[in-house]
Structure 1
Amino acid sequence: MCIFVKNLHLRTNLIVFIFILSLSAFGQTARKYSNEFMNIGVDAAALGMSNAVTSHSADVNSGYWNPAGLLKLEDNQAALMHSSYFANIANYDYAAFAMPLDDRSAVGFSLIRFAVDDILNTTQLIDAQGNINYDRISLFSTADYGLTFSYARHLPVQGLNYGVNAKVIRRIIGEFATSWGFGLDFGMQFETNNNWKFGVMARDITTTYNTWAIDEEQFETIQDAIPGENQDLPETTELTIPKLQVGISKKVNFNYDYSLLTSMNLNVRFEENNDVISSSFASVNPALGFEFGYIDMVYLRGGMGNFQNELQIDHSEQLTFQPTFGVGFNYKGIQVDYAFTDIGDQSVALYSNVFSLKLDFSIFR
């Protein structure tokens, strides 16, 4: 029993220790993977198309994908989404609202929460005299919040729109550490007379800035979680480098009742990694998606993305990708969507079920 308690105590301390240690991975330099929860994506319809929606996103969820798409709104809209990751350990939730201001502008608001809740805190389980007191066990959560304010407006050029996002990031690791972050996104969409659509979304154009406040007393309780590895307090600032998404799509209607939407995205990160196209300046990762619709009521979706050149044990490279699948149903302004996605690649069974709901307020008119 004593061995079990000690193992539980050490394991929980290690979890907390790793969370805080991750803050110091890049110190004061540009932290390339900061705020990655903001890159997961929202809306099961978009996730079912492998997120290749930069050019044609045209509803309340455009506040995330490309704020310029908010100008396609004809009435107020609201959206909700929930998903669980890593065998239901982490919960991912999203809510949004958007409305047109006039015939030339629109606004939107959205909130994302990615969290692991009810983590055991056993740092106080054993007192200085070695006594075990289970009443000293408490629970805490590590949660990331992203609040986005969106504004979109028509430009004087026909078919050309733009939008901007102002983001507030709040990250909490129990009582151990908290942070605030701020950043901006900029997006544009252009539609031709023959239904070709183009889109550009520049994320974190100001290199989103996060500042951390670390409770030194709480940190001291886990500093010695790994024997002989007494860690100093990590740095308290981090930056998120910009990312660029370029998209193209076209929707074709045939036999009156049927439609086919095809789209492609090029996701650009200004770093060198395992993407199919990569250099010391930038890497490019394509994403492909399609949506087959029937009488604007039933939708079947699919996509492929996250193409990676993975290094194998024998030092060869293998191309992997992330497949997605989805369905949707829309009736009188109420749309329910489902996506079945693999958060890794097609060779690893880490599948997630994503559900989302979109409500058009025109049903109340």
Structure 2
Amino acid sequence: MNIGVDAAALGMSNAVTASTNNVNSGYWNPAGLLSIEDSEASLMHASYFANIAQYDYAAYAKKIDDRSAWGISLIRFGVDDILNTTQLIDSQGNIDYNRISLFSTADYGMTFSYARKSQLKEIQYGINAKVIRRIIGDFASSWGFGIDAGIKFERDSWKFGVMLRDITTTYNIWNIDEEKYNQIKDAVAGQNQEAPESTEITAPKAQLGIAKLFEFHYDYTLLAAVNLNMQFARTNDVFASEAVSIDPAVGFEFGYTDLVFLRAGVGNFQNVEQIDGSKKINFQPNIGLGFKYKGIQIDYALTDLSDQSAALYSNIFSVKVDLSIFR
């Protein structure tokens, strides 16, 4: 749930908390759903770890009236066709390749979003209810539930946003198949002797965003955005303390006649300790490209350009459709 959706947002290094204004707002800041004029749908696909893992996303959102909107989205992040070799050796100590089977491990996140305008017309707010499902073949599975809340404030061409993720703390309760666990717990001495914890906790996080849209000669626009992504614990983020750690992100989107978009961003600033004991700051630059025509928008993002191996690059494609064009 922390990876991000929509190639347009990822091309800006996720610095869209304040500017998000379409069906994908259900993920970034549900308050942005109120900018939808009718109804929209979105799809995204991305491959990670040299195409080993697949990330898929689908969303739908609809305006209820002039003051409210709702949306729903589904995310799947999984690795399929993993070889299960736990039964490779039979009871006689012989290797039998016919005993190899395949399984998948996948995480699912379903989000229900609702947004509404406040009595002050510049302020709008939204809330997410999330259901989390995690599956590791037949070995283990879990269910979880969490809540997000967001708010947006707009005045002139300035936009401000706050997104509070997992504000209730998201709990995932695991159910581990004891029979299958017992088959492997003594396979290697000193490993898997005790069953893992059955409760998984996702702590609250906050994102603050500010954005401004500049217009030049009516045909050209530049959206500049900044995010402060905060966790309430000490991490490797570039600004870290026991109370809060902050990872900044900056994104830009250059547009021409609301038809062609070029994007760039940098984020994920981390303090990294080298083998020799020295420290350096790592960061992740992203770039993107988008086309929009008659309510259909296609976006592409190339992320993590700082990696040394091209196999680690992530090519992300997404499409967004204003469904009113079919009426």
- Please say whether Structure 1 and Structure 2 have the same fold, judged by a TM-score greater than 0.5: yes
Regions of 4+ moved over 4 Å: 345-349
Structure 1: distance between partners of 2:243 and 2:95: 54
Structure 1: distance between partners of 2:192 and 2:258: 61
SS of 1:63 mapped into structure 2: helix
Q: CA RMSD in A?
A: 1.2
Instruction: State the match for 2:153 in structure 1.
Output: 190
Instruction: State the match for 1:52 in structure 2.
Output: 15
Whether 2:44 is the aligned partner of 1:81: answer yes
Instruction: State the match for 1:232 in structure 2.
Output: 194
Counterpart mapping for 1:72-221 below 5 A: 72-192=35-155, 194-221=156-183
Whether 2:263 is the aligned partner of 1:301: answer yes
Structure 1: distance between partners of 2:32 and 2:161: 9
- Structure 1: runs of 5 or more not aligned: 1-37
Q: Which moved more, 1:270-279 or 1:40-49?
A: 270-279
Report the AA paired with residue 81 of structure 1. Answer: M
SS of 1:39 mapped into structure 2: coil
Structure 2: distance between partners of 1:135 and 1:326: 46
Structure 1: distance between partners of 2:190 and 2:14: 45
Identity %: 67
Whether 2:282 is the aligned partner of 1:329: answer no
Structure (1 or 2) with the greater strand fraction? 2
Report deviation, 1:346. 5.0
Report the AA paired with residue 247 of structure 1. Answer: G
Q: Which moved more, 1:221-230 or 1:303-312?
A: 221-230
Structure 2: distance between partners of 1:240 and 1:250: 32
Report deviation, 1:232. 0.9
Report the AA paired with residue 35 of structure 2. Answer: K
SS of 1:221 mapped into structure 2: helix
Report the AA paired with residue 31 of structure 2. Answer: A
SS of 2:184 mapped into structure 1: coil
In 2, are the aligned partners of 1:321 and 1:346 still within 8 Å (CA)?
no
Report deviation, 1:136. 2.1
* 1:261 counterpart (205, 218, 223): 223
Q: Which moved more, 1:176-185 or 1:214-223?
A: 214-223
Structure 2: distance between partners of 1:208 and 1:154: 27
Instruction: State the match for 2:27 in structure 1.
Output: 64
In 1, are the aligned partners of 2:307 and 2:313 still within 8 Å (CA)?
no
Structure 1: distance between partners of 2:237 and 2:65: 42
Report the AA paired with residue 72 of structure 1. Answer: S
Report the AA paired with residue 314 of structure 2. Answer: S
Report deviation, 1:313. 2.5
Structure 1: distance between partners of 2:191 and 2:95: 24
Report the AA paired with residue 198 of structure 1. Answer: F
Structure 1: distance between partners of 2:183 and 2:12: 45
Report the AA paired with residue 197 of structure 2. Answer: E
Report the AA paired with residue 227 of structure 1. Answer: A
In 1, are the aligned partners of 2:11 and 2:302 still within 8 Å (CA)?
yes
TM-score, normalised relative to structure 2 = 0.97
Report deviation, 1:348. 5.7
Structure (1 or 2) with the greater helix fraction? 1
In 1, are the aligned partners of 2:25 and 2:33 still within 8 Å (CA)?
yes
Report the AA paired with residue 364 of structure 1. Answer: F
- Structure 2: runs of 5 or more not aligned: none
Report deviation, 1:234. 1.5
Q: Which moved more, 1:229-238 or 1:317-326?
A: 229-238
Instruction: State the match for 1:20 in structure 2.
Output: none
Whether 2:272 is the aligned partner of 1:310: answer yes
SS of 2:51 mapped into structure 1: coil
Structure 2: distance between partners of 1:288 and 1:77: 27
Q: How many residues align?
A: 326
In 2, are the aligned partners of 1:208 and 1:240 still within 8 Å (CA)?
yes
Instruction: State the match for 2:184 in structure 1.
Output: 222
